[in-house]
Amino acid sequence: MFDITAFKKPLDAKLHKRYIEQLSFSMLKHILPEFASKFIWLDSPDLQTEDKAIGIEITEAIAPQTAQIDGEHAKLRFGKKTENDKKECLRLIEKNGGSVDSIGLSYPVVDSNTEWAVFSKALTKKLKLLPKYREKGFAKMGLFIFFNEPPI
């Protein structure tokens, strides 16, 4: 199992994905304990019954700009060593509508149309995987979309 509380610095993209998957699985187990107890955490799809009767894919609905800002901020704080590298991180944060100051990190304001587009893109991307899962023998598929922003 993956300990979602044992981090000492911001997560890189790979660990962030695992964190979201584990957090989502934990939420499902809390909300539907009798249902979620039948699943194991694997990959492709992320949650599966042992008999492959049901699979659940987990994804995060996140604006590309937000993901870029998060990634660059993590690099800025813990990954980049040279001043030029740090300046490049700041440039990319600002290019995506964010900013870093003495208080912290800020993001561009999004509206409900942007939120819907992000959610729709996440859904469409995962729907394209359905034929692959059918070929693997999954009779039923589900989708859990993690959305970390309070809707506008």
Predicted local distance difference test score (pLDDT) of residue 56: 94
- Among 28-32, 33-37, 108-112, 121-125, which stretch is predicted with the lowest mean pLDDT? 33-37
Q: Evaluate if residue 145 carries a pLDDT over 90.
A: yes
The sign of the CA dihedral 68, 146, 37, 56 is negative
Q: For residue 80, give the nearest of 135, 149, 10 by alpha carbon.
A: 10
Give the tokens for residue 58.
Answer: 């987990």
Predicted local distance difference test score (pLDDT) of residue 49: 93
**Over the stretch 41-89, which tens digit does the pLDDT of each residue have?**
888 999 999 999 999 999 999 999 999 998 898 888 887 679 999 999 9
pTM: 0.81
Name the DSSP letter for residue 63: -
CB contact set of 41 (below 8 Å; sequence gap of 6+)? 1, 2, 21, 22, 25, 47
pLDDT level of residue 152 (50, 70, 90 thresholds):
low
